[in-house]
Amino acid sequence: MIAADLFPVTRTLEELKTEAQGRADRNGYPLAGLVPSEVREALSNIHSLDRDEWAAAWCAIGDRHMEKGAYAQAWRYYSFARWPVPIGAGKELAYRKALDAFRASVKPLDPPLEVVRIPFEGKEIVGYLRLPKNAPAKVPLVIAIGGLDSRKEDMIERFSVLLPRGIGSFGFDMPGTGEAPLKIGPNAERMYSAAIDYALTRPEIDGAKVIVYGGSFGGHWGVRLAVTERERLFAAIVQSGPVHTAFQPEFLEKAFVTKEYLFDRGPAIASMYDGVNTPAELLERAPKNSLLAQGYLQRPTAPMLVIAGEHDTQVPISDIDLLLHSGSPKWSWINPNGGHMGREPKGWTDPVIFEKVTVPWILQILGTGD
């Protein structure tokens, strides 16, 4: 079991409450979509940094929405209740409630959302697939990979905006998170190779136009796949993916307590690994995931867009520079004033970057742009 309390605390309780409310007020990550007055209510019922108490306060709001049949909103509160990862009984319960609420919320969708279960090494890969309705031909597909604290539910919701453009989406958790069957480790991207295998069996999907997107830690897997699946991928998008320095102890120790991350970044990272329970164990294991050390960066990649921020305190800009100056030529969008994911609190927010950078590049490279 992860010794979460051995990791340094990012914020005091009052600092955490103030920051959480501020992010909710400006609709910022990870409280985007939560109602500021309800956030204030939940925070008023939290009197310690105890993770079960945290989960209970947000679940109470989620339960209220669930009882009214407002399943999508219930999912948002349950998902934040388990944030960043379900450590402890309260957060584990919140995550199960989040899955139930999300799957209830998508039942009326048209075109429908399919919960796909792919047999994999005695377990299963769970993904969410949405394809355009009545498409005149085989459709391109974006395989969207969640990050350290985002999930496939977030991915499929975000990328569904491509449906009217005739582009499908397939959302997945990354290794060590959510319902993924693998922990982080060498060759763990093979679970996505199995997902590509499945996608190519679907007659509605154009197997020559499969794009991979990975945001934050999901971008790490985007790089891996751009190399190992170069022949089968049409393109890849890597947004603030950790490459090399982000895995080194000297950087990682500082990044445990970056104020850019709301709280519990250290325990969240540790939870991705099998058998890592303490800061010391994490600092020993993490460097083995360097893409430089494993030889990925020296190899050619599928066409790639790299998105990042100069002042990212979770993935250093040196990682992005290393990625851009290795392997094949790449497109890039670097916000000189941005932090993680290239975002700024005002201006270049997550939705704006997605609308003005990610989506246009996808349309451009597919040749379907306006």
Residues 66 and 42 grouped into a single domain: yes
- Torsion sign (Cα): 340, 241, 154, 91: negative
Residues 132 and 71 grouped into a single domain: no
Residues 237 and 121 grouped into a single domain: yes
139 domain-assigned: yes
Residues 322 and 296 grouped into a single domain: yes
From CA 344, how far away is CA 357, in angstroms rounded?
14
278 domain-assigned: no
Residues 196 and 325 grouped into a single domain: yes
Residue 369: per-residue pLDDT: 60
Residues 84 and 119 grouped into a single domain: no
Residues 230 and 92 grouped into a single domain: no
Residues 227 and 348 grouped into a single domain: yes
Residues 202 and 128 grouped into a single domain: yes
Residues 50 and 71 grouped into a single domain: yes
pTM: 0.96
Helix, strand, coil percentages for the chain (3-state, nearest 5): 45, 15, 40
From CA 318, how far away is CA 189, in angstroms rounded?
24
Which residues partner with 169 through β-bridges?
A: 130, 142
Residue 148: per-residue pLDDT: 97
From CA 297, how far away is CA 12, in angstroms rounded?
39
73 domain-assigned: yes
258 domain-assigned: no
Structural domain total, the chain: 2
332 domain-assigned: yes
141 domain-assigned: yes
Indicate the residue among 64, 85, 103 that finishes a domain.
103
147 domain-assigned: yes
Indicate the residue among 85, 103, 121 that finishes a domain.
103
Residues 144 and 213 grouped into a single domain: yes
Per-residue pLDDT of the chain (370 residues; tens, 9 = 90+): 788 899 999 999 999 999 999 999 999 999 999 999 999 999 999 999 999 999 999 999 999 999 999 999 999 999 999 999 999 999 999 999 999 999 999 999 999 999 999 999 999 999 999 999 988 889 999 999 999 999 999 999 999 999 999 999 999 999 999 999 999 998 999 999 999 999 999 999 999 999 999 999 999 999 999 999 999 999 999 999 999 999 999 999 999 999 999 999 999 999 999 999 999 999 999 999 999 999 999 999 999 999 999 999 999 999 999 999 999 999 999 999 999 999 998 899 999 999 999 999 999 999 986 5
Indicate the residue among 103, 123, 150 that finishes a domain.
103
Residue span of the structural domain in which 318 resides: 112-248+290-366
Residue 205: per-residue pLDDT: 97
From CA 143, how far away is CA 153, in angstroms rounded?
13
13 domain-assigned: yes
Beta strand pairing status for 168-172 and 123-130? antiparallel
| Of 144, 139, 75, 67, residue with least CA distance to 107 | 75
